[in-house]
Amino acid sequence: MSDNKNVIFGDTLRGYTEKIILSILSNEDLYGYKINKIIETRTNHSLVFNEATLYTTFQRLEKFGYITSYWVKNDNLPKKKYYSITKEGVSFLANCKFEWKRTKELIDLFL
């Protein structure tokens, strides 16, 4: 893991956790551990989500209808819960990306 002062914990990005997960799921169905590893790898271990944050977010996204889940059993391995983005999730993500772009443009005027 990188120097601890460079690590951003998931709680700091609470408002963006859903959007980050939906963005990853827009590429393929994945299980929770793999999603977290993708986040850590893409950010060079600078963004860390604890398990509770991650799974609470999955529950919230399912409740809103933005993702669905299903179980997959592979031979001698334990079954894994996979998550898939829904049409509603894709639409929500598109709106979030537009909102983020516009927000960033405005904030960049000042910072």
Give per-10-residue mean pLDDT for the chain (111 aa).
Answer: 56 80 98 95 89 94 98 91 98 96 94 88
Dist. CA 24–CA 49, nearest whole Å = 14
Contacts of 58 (CB under 8 A, 6+ apart): 21, 32, 67, 69, 83
Residue 26 DSSP label? T
- CATH level 3 topology of 4-108: Arc Repressor Mutant, subunit A (1.10.10)
pLDDT at residue number 12 = 58
pLDDT at residue number 48 = 81
pLDDT at residue number 9 = 59
